Chain A
Amino acid sequence: MLKSFKSILTPIIAVLLGIIVGTIIMIISGYDALAAFTALWNGAFGDSYYLGEVIRQFTPYILAGLAVAFAFRVGLFNIGVEGQFLVGWLAAVWVGVAFDLPKIIHLPLAIIAAMVAGALWAFIPGFLKARFRVHEVIVTIMMNYVALHVSNYFIKNIITDNKDKTDMIKESATLRSPWLESLTDYSRLHWGIILAILSCFVMWFLLERTTRGFELRSVGFNQHAAHYAGMNVNKNIILSMVIAGAFAGLAGSMEGLGTFGYATVKGGFTGVGFDGIAVALLGGNTSIGVFFSAILFGALKVGALNMPLEAGVPNELVDIIIALIVFFVASSYIIRIFLDRFSKKEVK
C-alpha cells in the first residue's frame, strides 16, 4: 500500500470508527443517530453561514497548533499556548482601542503587539529552560494562570474603569470584513484565515528551508550533536519558544481583532490553547498536518452546536460523541498498525 494513501486512509477510518461507536451510544440512549450526524454535517458545511463559522473557528486552532508544533520540533512541550494566546488577545485589543491611526498602520500594529506579547510570555519559560534547565512544562502551565489573571486585572483596572468588557476596538484595527460576512450569510468570518495560512507556510519554510531551521531541528533531535557541531543550543531553545509564543499571540489577535473585537474578563481558560496541543499532535507536528487537523477540530466544534437544535440530542451526549471522534483520530496509531499488518499479508 502506498504510504501517502495510508496517511489519508488512517484519519478517514478513525472518523468512521468514531461515528460507529457514537451511533451505538445514541441508539442505546434512544436518539436518532442518522439525524444527529446529519445535523453535525449540516451544522459544519450545510450552508455558507456555517462554513464561514467553521473557518472562523479553525483559524485560531491553526495558529495554536503551530505554536505547539513549532516548539515540539525543537524538543519542547509548549503547554503554555493558552496563556500566550490570552496575552496576545489582550495586547491586540489594547492597541485596538487605545490608538487612532490609519488602518494600514493600526491593524499591523495591533497584530504585531499580539505577537510580541505572546513571544515575551513564552520567552520566560524558554529562558528558564535554557539558563537553569527548569522544565518548560511546569513553567508554561503556571504561566497560563498568571496570564489569565493578569489579563483580567488589566481589563478591569487599566483598560476600563472596573468593567468586565473592553470597548470595541476601533474600525481601523479590525480584521472583520463586511464583504466576507455578506459572502457567508453574515457569519463572523474575518481576514485572519489569510494570516493563519501564511503562518503555516512560514513555519514550513523556516524549519525546512533555512539555516536557522536546520539548527532548530538539530537541537530538537539531538542537543549533543548540535552542540558538537557548533550550534548555540540555548539560543535555539529560547528562539523556538519565542517563535511559538508569537504564533500563539497571533492566535489571540484572531479573537481580539476578528471574532469578537473586544476582550472580556474570563472566569476560566478558553480552551483554544489546549485544543492546540491536540491539533498539533494529530497533525504530526508538521504545518500541513496542523492545517488539516485544525479544520477537523473546527468543523466538529461548530457542527456540534447544531446537534441539539436540529436532532434534539442533549449537549452532554454531543460532547461525548465529539470526544469519541477525537479519541479515535488521536489513537490513529492503532489503526496504522492494523493497516500495516493488512498490507503485509497482501505481500504474501
Chain B
Amino acid sequence: MDFVIEMLNIRKEFGGFVANDNITLQLKKGEIHALLGENGAGKSTLMNVLFGLYQPEQGEIRVKGKPVNISNPNIANDLGIGMVHQHFMLVDTFTVTENIILGREITTGGRIDLKKAEKEVREISERYGLAVDPQAKISDISVGMQQRVEILKTLYRGAEIVIFDEPSAVLTPQEIKELMQIMKTLIKEGKSIILITHKLKEIMEVADRCTVIRKGKGIGTVNISETNPNELASLMVGREVVFKTEKTEAKPKQDVLQIQDLLVKDARGINVVNGLNLTVKAGEIVGIAGVDGNGQSEFIEAITGLRKAESGSVKLNGNELINHTPRKITEAGVGHIPQDRHKHGLVLNFPIGENMVLQTYNKKPYSKNGILNFKEIYKKAKTLISEFDVRTPSEYTLARALSGGNQQKAIIGREVDRNPDLLIAAQPTRGLDVGAIEFIHKRLIEQRDNGKAVLLISFELDEILNVSDRIAVIYEGKIVAVVNPRETSEQELGLLMAGSNRKEAGEHANA
C-alpha cells in the first residue's frame, strides 16, 4: 500500500495524563482522510506530534515509507506537511502576498521582490481555483478568503500533505460548500489531506476514509463508502447517539421574561435592536433564529447588563431589570451562557475550579467575611466537573488548557447549577462535537422540564428546530415572526430570516 504518512502506535503523555494512547493513522496518497473525535479526544495532540510541536513517548512516524524524526515544525515543512490552523495566523495589516511570503521572502539585493512573489501566488491561486487577490489586504477580505490564504501559504511552501484543523468552524454554509470544492481540487492536483473535524456531514461528503479516536485511544479506520453518520457518531462517542433530541410536550406557565420595545445602539450609533418585543414563559424554550448580524449579540448583551439599552423594558418575574448591573441581573435569577466563552465566559488564566465560582465567590460557603474558602470552592468544582462530564486532568488545571467543549461544559455546569429562573444560552454548542451537543441540549431541556424559562440563540437552524418549543425570528433588530417548530420548515424559516413576511414565506415554502 502506498502511504504518504504513517503514524504508528503513537503515545503521548502530559505528566501522567495520556492524551494519545496507541493511535495509528495511515494517509494514502491522494485521499482525504478524516480524523474524527470528540472535543478533547486527542486530535490536536496527534497533529501537533505530526507537526513536530510535541515529541511522542512511543511510536513511529514514517513519511513515504521512511522513518523520520520530526523534532520541530520546520522539519515538518521540509517534509511537505502543511497545516491550515483553525485560528488563522495572518498579519491583518499585510497584503495576501506579504502574508504568504512571510519568513520566505524572495529578495534581490536586500529588497523584497513583491512583483515576482505576487506572480507566483497568483499562479498557485489559479491552479487550485482559490480565486484569491494577491494584493488585497487581509483586514479587507472575508473569513473564508482568509482561510484560502492559509491554504495558499501551505501550497506556496511546497506542501504535499495539507492538514485542515476544524476548517468549517468559522465559515458560512456557502463558504463551506466552496471549501469542499477546493479540497477536491487539491486532491485532483495530487495532494493528500487530513481533515480534522467533528462534523459528520462534511466527512460523509468529502472524505475517503476516516480514523476515529475516542478519549485518546485509536478506535479504528473505516471507509466512508461503507459507513453512515450514525455509525461514525457511535464510534466516536462510544454509544448510540440520538440526533433528534427526545423531549416531551412543553407545559408553559407564567411569563418569566417580558421584553417590550427594546432599543439598543451599537458602537456606531445605529439601532441594531430596534423595538424588540418578546416573552418567554416558565417551562418553555424559546429559540431565536436569525442570520448573524441582525442584533442578536447586542440583544443578549443588553438584557444581561453587558451593554447599555437606550429604552424599553426588560422584566424578569415582573421586576424591571433594564440597565441594571450584571450582578443585579444575575442575582435576580438569570443564568447566561455567553456567546464568546473566551472573552466573557472564563478567566482562562484561572484554574477551572475558580472559574466555577466566578459569580458566587462572594457568597457562602465559598467565602466568609471576605476570605475565600478554597476547600469549599474546589469541592464544588469537583462535583460540577463530574456531574457535567468536564474532562480535565484536575480541578486545579488552568481553564486555558481545556478543550473548547470542556470549557463550554464547565460554563454550562456553573450557570445551570445556580438554578436560574431564566437561562440564556447564546450559541451554546458552537464548535462542539455531537456528543457534547447532545449533552448540552439535554441539559437545556432538563431546565425547561424543571419549570425554568430558557432563551436559546443559535445560527444553526437544526439546533433551533430541534430544541425550541417556540421559534422567534429576528430580522434587523425586531422579532418579525413567532412560529411553532412543528408547523414550520427550514425553508420557511430561511425566508423569514431573510426578511420576507409570514404570508409570503408560507407561500414560497409551499410552492
- Answer yes or no: A266 CB below 8 A from chain B CBs: no
Within 8 A of A (CB), among B265-296: none
Within 8 A of A (CB), among B335-390: 336, 338, 343-350, 354, 358-359, 361-362, 367, 370-372
- Answer yes or no: B211 CB below 8 A from chain A CBs: no
A210 and B371 contact, Cβ closer than 8 Å, known pairs A221-B347, A225-B344, A228-B326: yes
A229/B306 in contact, CB under 8 A: no
A211 and B350 contact, Cβ closer than 8 Å, known pairs A228-B345, A230-B327: no
Which of A226, A230, A344, A348 contacts B347 (CB under 8 A)?
A226
A218/B358 in contact, CB under 8 A: yes
Residue of B nearest to A225 (CB): B347
B343/A225 in contact, CB under 8 A: yes
CB proximity of A32 to chain B, nearest CB, Å? 45
A214 and B348 contact, Cβ closer than 8 Å, known pairs A229-B326, A230-B327: no
Residue of B nearest to A212 (CB): B370
A225/B345 in contact, CB under 8 A: yes
Interface size on A, residues (CB 8 A): 22
A222 and B325 contact, Cβ closer than 8 Å, known pairs A211-B371, A212-B370: no
B306/A227 in contact, CB under 8 A: yes
Chain A residues whose C-beta falls within 8 Å of the C-beta of B168 in the assembled complex: none
- Answer yes or no: A224 CB below 8 A from chain B CBs: yes
CB proximity of B380 to chain A, nearest CB, Å? 14
B371/A224 in contact, CB under 8 A: no
Task: Give A305-348 as 1s and 0s: 1 = Cβ < 8 Å from B's Cβ atoms.
Answer: 00000000000000000000000000000000000000010001
- Answer yes or no: B330 CB below 8 A from chain A CBs: yes
Which of B306, B348, B362, B372 contacts A228 (CB under 8 A)?
B306
Which of A211, A222, A225 contacts B361 (CB under 8 A)?
A211
Chain B residues whose C-beta falls within 8 Å of the C-beta of A230 in the assembled complex: 325-328, 330-331, 359
A222/B327 in contact, CB under 8 A: no
Task: Give B464-484 as 1s and 0s: 1 = Cβ < 8 Å from A's Cβ atoms.
Answer: 000000000000000000000
A225/B371 in contact, CB under 8 A: no
Task: Give A199-212 as 1s and 0s: 1 = Cβ < 8 Å from B's Cβ atoms.
Answer: 00000000001111
A227/B326 in contact, CB under 8 A: yes
Task: Give A132-156 as 1s and 0s: 1 = Cβ < 8 Å from B's Cβ atoms.
Answer: 0000000000000000000000000
A221 and B349 contact, Cβ closer than 8 Å, known pairs A228-B336, A229-B359, A230-B327: yes
Chain A residues whose C-beta falls within 8 Å of the C-beta of B348 in the assembled complex: 221-222
B346/A211 in contact, CB under 8 A: no
Which of A217, A226, A228, A232 contacts B338 (CB under 8 A)?
A228
B371/A214 in contact, CB under 8 A: no
A225/B358 in contact, CB under 8 A: yes
A210/B359 in contact, CB under 8 A: no
A209 and B344 contact, Cβ closer than 8 Å, known pairs A221-B350, A229-B326, A230-B325: no
Report the bound CA distance from A210 to B374 in whole Å.
Answer: 10
Report the bound CA distance from A217 to B371 in whole Å.
Answer: 15
Chain A residues whose C-beta falls within 8 Å of the C-beta of B349 in the assembled complex: 221-222
Chain B residues whose C-beta falls within 8 Å of the C-beta of A344 in the assembled complex: 55
B344/A228 in contact, CB under 8 A: yes
- Answer yes or no: A26 CB below 8 A from chain B CBs: no
The CB with the most chain A CB atoms within 10 A, among B55, B328, B347, B367, is that of: B347
B347/A210 in contact, CB under 8 A: no
Report the bound CA distance from A150 to B130 in whole Å.
Answer: 65
Chain B residues whose C-beta falls within 8 Å of the C-beta of A226 in the assembled complex: 347
Within 8 A of A (CB), among B20-59: 55
Task: Give A34-72 as 1s and 0s: 1 = Cβ < 8 Å from B's Cβ atoms.
Answer: 000000000000000000000000000000000000000
Residue of B nearest to A228 (CB): B344
CB proximity of B330 to chain A, nearest CB, Å? 5
A209/B325 in contact, CB under 8 A: no
CB proximity of A218 to chain B, nearest CB, Å? 5
- Answer yes or no: A13 CB below 8 A from chain B CBs: no
Report the bound CA distance from A226 to B348 in whole Å.
Answer: 12
Within 8 A of A (CB), among B89-119: none
B372/A211 in contact, CB under 8 A: yes
The CB with the most chain B CB atoms within 10 A, among A218, A232, A344, is that of: A218
Report the bound CA distance from A211 to B373 in whole Å.
Answer: 9
- Answer yes or no: A231 CB below 8 A from chain B CBs: yes
Chain B residues whose C-beta falls within 8 Å of the C-beta of A215 in the assembled complex: 361
B372/A209 in contact, CB under 8 A: yes
A224 and B343 contact, Cβ closer than 8 Å, known pairs A214-B354, A218-B350, A230-B325: yes
The CB with the most chain B CB atoms within 10 A, among A211, A228, A231, is that of: A228
CB proximity of B455 to chain A, nearest CB, Å? 16
Report the bound CA distance from A206 to B358 in whole Å.
Answer: 17
A222/B347 in contact, CB under 8 A: yes
Report the bound CA distance from A211 to B361 in whole Å.
Answer: 7
Report the bound CA distance from A348 to B57 in whole Å.
Answer: 9
Residue of A nearest to B368 (CB): A211
B371/A231 in contact, CB under 8 A: no
CB proximity of B13 to chain A, nearest CB, Å? 11
Report the bound CA distance from A211 to B372 in whole Å.
Answer: 6
Which of A225, A231, A232, A348 contacts B346 (CB under 8 A)?
A225
Task: Give B218-246 as 1s and 0s: 1 = Cβ < 8 Å from A's Cβ atoms.
Answer: 00000000000000000000000000000
Report the bound CA distance from A181 to B344 in whole Å.
Answer: 55
Report the bound CA distance from A215 to B372 in whole Å.
Answer: 11
Chain A residues whose C-beta falls within 8 Å of the C-beta of B358 in the assembled complex: 218, 225, 228-229
Report the bound CA distance from A110 to B59 in whole Å.
Answer: 69
Report the bound CA distance from A222 to B349 in whole Å.
Answer: 9
Chain B residues whose C-beta falls within 8 Å of the C-beta of A212 in the assembled complex: 370
Report the bound CA distance from A227 to B344 in whole Å.
Answer: 8
Report the bound CA distance from A68 to B344 in whole Å.
Answer: 27
Report the bound CA distance from A229 to B355 in whole Å.
Answer: 10
Report the bound CA distance from A225 to B327 in whole Å.
Answer: 12
CB proximity of B485 to chain A, nearest CB, Å? 30
Residue of B nearest to A208 (CB): B372
A210/B372 in contact, CB under 8 A: yes
Residue of B nearest to A344 (CB): B55
Within 8 A of A (CB), among B138-153: none
Residue of A nearest to B329 (CB): A230
Report the bound CA distance from A222 to B361 in whole Å.
Answer: 16
Report the bound CA distance from A210 to B371 in whole Å.
Answer: 4
Report the bound CA distance from A265 to B238 in whole Å.
Answer: 77
Report the bound CA distance from A209 to B366 in whole Å.
Answer: 11
Chain B residues whose C-beta falls within 8 Å of the C-beta of A218 in the assembled complex: 347, 350, 358
Report the bound CA distance from A211 to B347 in whole Å.
Answer: 15
Which of B331, B346, B371 contacts A209 (CB under 8 A)?
B371
B367/A211 in contact, CB under 8 A: yes
Report the bound CA distance from A226 to B347 in whole Å.
Answer: 8
Chain A residues whose C-beta falls within 8 Å of the C-beta of B346 in the assembled complex: 222, 225
Residue of A nearest to B327 (CB): A230
Which of A210, A221, A224 contacts B344 (CB under 8 A)?
A224
Report the bound CA distance from A142 to B362 in whole Å.
Answer: 37
The 11 listed contacts between A and B (C-beta, < 8 Å) are: A210-B371, A211-B367, A217-B347, A218-B358, A221-B349, A222-B348, A227-B306, A228-B358, A229-B359, A230-B327, A230-B359
Further 6 A-B residue pairs, CB within 8 A, beyond A225-B346, A228-B338: A211-B362, A211-B372, A222-B343, A228-B304, A230-B330, A230-B331
- Residues of A whose CB lies within 8 Å of any CB of B are 209-215, 217-218, 221-222, 224-232, 344, 348
The 9 closest A-B pairs by CB, nearest first: A230-B327, A228-B344, A229-B358, A230-B326, A221-B349, A211-B362, A222-B347, A211-B367, A224-B343
